[in-house]
């Protein structure tokens, strides 16, 4: 450590953090000031100003936490630099919010409470304000702790907690709450399984082949086309649903037509790119760079179109209640409210996003470009499958589950590989091979593809059949070197944050609701 510069570096870091906080605070103040000028026709401008500030704060925290899931794998695999990822995500998140975010949102996110049970507009406004602030505070804390959590679950917990405080336990839709609890398991498991399946396919069809370049020429265009099909369908169903609503089959067919076109366009490009590569896994990885960048952009666009409602839904509801003096199930969104969501997400990402991007991209498990590609595919495909089956899922949980999925698969494959090498060495010793002969078998095994590996294992087993391995030696094989390629501490921290998100936001919101109610009475 450079002791001479330690104090200076520490002060510089603190100074940079203070500047970021001041910029975020300035954004919140500007939004509040803008709301005060453009609050024509509302019954209480002061309430609108406070609600707008809360909405801006929520949008900043969505950008700081949730967006990391879209670009984190691309950054972790070095397909994108941190600066490039932030620029792409900021542009596409804001674009998704402003272009496809819709002109109407539900005032009660996910139907978590019954608005008719609240009664008067004033109480409803306090419920929405408490939900906004509680959701934002929880996201802020999770970001500080480096835990990627669901912003949807944060605002749902806030709405539920404040709603129960206002109207009692019966106001909550407990079926919806049960579905959200189920998603804690469904989302990461589905994401992890799909990502792992894609990784197995890539390994068996490309990286386990003796001629990886030739295999890549055939398989990578198919994978790119599959990615285009998945993301086209995903965007039509989720990202563009407010502009262009189509049924699942139509979206699937349009996506397939786009994918087929892309396949014939990229096949010669990949063929030329592969010609210049060495027959190595690292070289093949580079073929996934552009698909990863495109997937990060498309995921960001769809996220902005969908999750902007988490920031502006309650704000739009408050604005609508102040304009019309009542509680409605749907609220129109003024342009300035949409801008708060879109720009706020982009600003929050630019200021505070790198911490969670690093967590998602590199602190759970090591990601190369093929693994990151599998995570991106899992994110799009899982949302499509889940939405058609009516399963409640979180995009955050899917992406992080995908990362854990490829990490645990790597662990399993690594341990299996180590066991096979140990088996070769043990069988070689039993067959009476000398050191050079044993090393020759090991070298053949390392270079062989899947089928050849199986043949080598059969061959060495037959050679040593006359001298079977003892029970003690079999036990020693089972204790092959165990390499943990997934950080267990990250797994426990993230899982704990997921489980407590809804109750934590709910408790915070109920406390804030009573505080706001107390101020209004005073």
Q: Which residues pair with 172 in a beta bridge?
A: 113
Of 444 and 345, more confident: 345
Of 489 and 102, more confident: 489
* pLDDT at residue 108 in the model: 56
Q: What is the pLDDT of residues 189-220, one digit of tens each?
A: 988 999 999 999 998 899 888 888 889 999 99
- Using an 8 Å Cβ cutoff, are 356 and 148 in contact? yes
Best CA proximity match to 375, nearest among 356, 346, 349, 396: 396
Crossing angle for the helix pair 45-65 and 289-324, nearest 10 degrees? Answer: 160
- Looking at residue 272, the DSSP 8-state letter turns out to be H
Q: What is the pLDDT of residues 48-96, one digit of tens each?
A: 999 999 999 999 999 898 888 888 888 988 888 989 988 998 888 888 8
* pLDDT at residue 245 in the model: 75
Best CA proximity match to 364, nearest among 490, 500, 494, 228: 490
Range 478-490 average pLDDT: 60
* pLDDT at residue 10 in the model: 59
* pLDDT at residue 447 in the model: 64
Q: What is the pLDDT of residues 276-325, one digit of tens each?
A: 888 888 888 888 898 889 888 888 887 787 777 777 888 888 888 888 77
* pLDDT at residue 471 in the model: 45
Question: What is the H or E stretch that residue 331 is in?
Answer: strand 330-332
Q: Which of 80-89, 190-199, 444-453, 505-514 has the lowest mean pLDDT?
A: 444-453
Q: Which residues pair with 330 in a beta bridge?
A: 106
- Using an 8 Å Cβ cutoff, are 86 and 133 in contact? no
Q: What is the pLDDT of residues 105-152, one digit of tens each?
A: 565 555 677 777 776 888 888 998 999 999 999 999 999 988 888 888
Q: What is the pLDDT of residues 457-467, one digit of tens each?
A: 666 666 555 44
The upper half-sphere exposure of residue 487, i.e. CA atoms within 13 Å in the direction of its Cβ, equals 14
* pLDDT at residue 246 in the model: 80
Q: What is the pLDDT of residues 353-384, one digit of tens each?
A: 888 888 888 878 888 899 999 998 888 888 77
Q: Which residues pair with 332 in a beta bridge?
A: 104
Question: Has residue 184 got a pLDDT over 60?
Answer: yes
* pLDDT at residue 463 in the model: 57
The upper half-sphere exposure of residue 421, i.e. CA atoms within 13 Å in the direction of its Cβ, equals 17
The upper half-sphere exposure of residue 416, i.e. CA atoms within 13 Å in the direction of its Cβ, equals 10
User: For residue 223, with 0-12 CB atoms within 10 Å meaning exposed, 13-18 middle and 19 or more buried, which class applies?
Assistant: buried
Number of residues written out for the chain: 522
Of 393 and 437, more confident: 393
Best CA proximity match to 374, nearest among 414, 403, 408: 403
Give backbone dihedrals phi and psi of 106, rounded to 5 degrees, phi first. Answer: -75, 135
Nearest-5° Cα angle at 131, 130 to 132: 90
pTM, to two decimals: 0.80
Nearest-5° Cα angle at 143, 79 to 56: 100
């Amino acid at each position: 450590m450079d002791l001479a510069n330690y104090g200076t570096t520490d002060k510089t870091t603190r100074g940079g953090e203070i500047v970021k906080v001041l910029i975020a605070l300035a954004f919140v103040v500007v939004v509040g000031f803008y709301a005060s000028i453009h609050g024509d026709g509302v019954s209480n401008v002061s309430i609108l100003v406070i609600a707008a500030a809360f909405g801006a704060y929520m949008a900043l925290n969505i950008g700081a936490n949730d967006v990391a899931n879209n670009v984190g794998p691309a950054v972790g695999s070095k397909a994108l630099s941190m600066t490039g990822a932030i620029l792409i995500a900021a542009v596409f998140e804001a674009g998704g919010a402003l272009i496809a975010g819709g002109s109407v949102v539900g005032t009660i996110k996910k139907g978590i409470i019954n608005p008719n049970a609240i009664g008067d507009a004033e109480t409803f406004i306090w419920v929405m304000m408490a939900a906004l602030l509680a959701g934002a505070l929880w996201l802020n804390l999770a970001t500080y702790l480096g835990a990627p959590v669901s912003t949807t679950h944060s605002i749902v917990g806030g709405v539920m907690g404040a709603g129960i405080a206002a109207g009692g336990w019966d106001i909550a839709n407990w079926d919806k709450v049960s579905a959200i609890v189920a998603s804690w398991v469904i989302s990461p498991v589905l994401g992890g399984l799909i990502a792992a399946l894609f990784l197995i396919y890539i390994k068996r069809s490309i990286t386990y082949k003796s001629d990886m370049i030739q295999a890549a020429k055939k398989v990578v265009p198919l994978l790119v086309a599959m990615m285009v099909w998945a993301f086209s369908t995903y965007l039509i169903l989720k990202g563009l649903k407010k502009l262009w609503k189509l049924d699942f089959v139509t979206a699937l067919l349009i996506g397939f037509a786009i994918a087929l076109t892309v396949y014939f366009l990229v096949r010669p490009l990949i063929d030329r790119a592969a010609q210049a590569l060495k027959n190595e896994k690292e070289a093949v990885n580079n073929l996934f760079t552009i698909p990863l960048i495109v997937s990060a952009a498309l995921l960001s666009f769809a996220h902005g179109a969908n999750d902007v409602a988490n920031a502006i839904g309650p704000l739009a509801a408050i604005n609508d209640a102040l304009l019309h003096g009542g509680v409605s199930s749907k609220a129109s969104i003024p342009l300035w409210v949409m801008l708060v969501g879109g720009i706020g997400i982009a600003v929050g990402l630019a200021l505070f996003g790198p911490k969670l991007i690093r967590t998602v991209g590199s602190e759970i498990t090591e990601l190369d470009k093929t693994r990151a590609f599998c995570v991106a595919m899992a994110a799009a495909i899982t949302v499509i499958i889940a939405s058609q089956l009516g399963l409640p899922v979180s995009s955050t949980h899917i992406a992080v589950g995908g990362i854990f999925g490829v990490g645990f698969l790597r662990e399993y494959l690594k341990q299996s590989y180590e066991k096979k090498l140990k088996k070769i060495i043990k069988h070689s010793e039993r067959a009476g091979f000398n050191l050079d002969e044993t090393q020759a078998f090991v070298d053949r095994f390392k270079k062989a593809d899947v089928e050849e590996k199986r043949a080598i294992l059969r061959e060495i087993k037959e050679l040593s059949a006359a001298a079977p391995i003892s029970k003690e030696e079999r036990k020693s094989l089972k204790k092959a070197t165990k390499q943990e390629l997934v950080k267990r501490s990250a797994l426990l921290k993230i899982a704990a944050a997921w489980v407590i998100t809804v109750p934590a936001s709910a408790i915070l919101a109920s406390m804030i609701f009573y505080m706001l109610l107390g101020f209004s009475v005073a």
